């Protein structure tokens, strides 16, 4: 029996790609490096801030240098924590989350976004306290697609895998769910690069109004 729904954040509940792109180019401009396009930046999203920066650095310099990567990562986090003015909630998310809670379902959040930027955007959206358990990309020594962050959310809620559905948008989320053995719903309007059919999932949807019925299968 499903008792809770755990969500990814970027590309699943919110479209933060424009803000992430602006934060990336603020860093690059400050370092006198070439800027990245929106499509490049969007393609770097999904495996956490550190991997985003490594991909960005490789794209604009042709190599990764550990000292430079660390510096760029620190600068990126500075801007990333403040980068939410252009972030948009996907259509019908707010009413769906409230509807799920109204059904007695508990909500959790498992994202590769670092915890401080996660907390900042949750506060900006008025979602403080909405999610019972929140794990960010730097909350543990490992990040998704390792299943440990998802399992940590469940531990924080006192639930087991058969009691939850996990909702995400990307290859990273699908692999996380598959490795954990979790019921997975794929939101098809996010940041994935592969065809939906190619990704592990039990159900998929493109409109949040479809979700409440799909969760229970």
Containing 14, the helix (H) or strand (E) segment is: strand 14-15
63: Cα within 13 Å, side-chain hemisphere: 4
Alpha-helix runs per DSSP H in the chain = 17-30, 38-44, 49-61, 66-80, 93-102, 115-125, 148-157, 171-180, 211-215
Active site residue 8: yes
| SS3 (DSSP) at 103 | coil
CA 42 vs CA 24, 36, 45, 191: distances in Å: 11, 10, 6, 7
Residues annotated catalytic, as ranges: 8
């Amino acid at each position: 029996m499903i008792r809770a729904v755990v969500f990814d954040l970027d590309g699943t509940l919110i479209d933060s790609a424009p803000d992430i792109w602006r934060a990336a180019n603020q860093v690059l401009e400050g370092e006198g490096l070439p800027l990245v396009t929106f499509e490049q930046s969007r393609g770097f999203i999904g495996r956490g801030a550190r991997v985003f920066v490594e991909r960005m650095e490789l794209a604009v310099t042709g190599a990764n240098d550990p000292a430079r990567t660390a510096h760029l990562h620190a600068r990126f986090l500075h801007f990333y924590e403040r980068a939410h003015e252009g972030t948009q909630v996907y259509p019908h998310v707010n009413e769906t989350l409230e509807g799920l809670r109204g059904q007695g379902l508990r909500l959790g959040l498992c994202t590769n976004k670092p915890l401080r930027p996660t907390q900042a955007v949750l506060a900006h959206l008025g979602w403080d306290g909405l999610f019972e358990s929140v794990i960010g990309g730097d909350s543990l020594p490992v990040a998704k697609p390792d299943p440990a962050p998802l399992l940590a959310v469940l531990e924080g809620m006192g639930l087991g895998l058969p009691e939850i559905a996990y909702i995400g948008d990307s290859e990273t989320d699908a692999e996380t769910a598959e490795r954990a053995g979790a019921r997975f719903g794929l939101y098809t309007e996010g940041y994935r690069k592969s065809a939906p059919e190619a990704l592990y999932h039990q159900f998929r949807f493109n409109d949040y109004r479809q979700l409440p019925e799909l969760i229970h299968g």
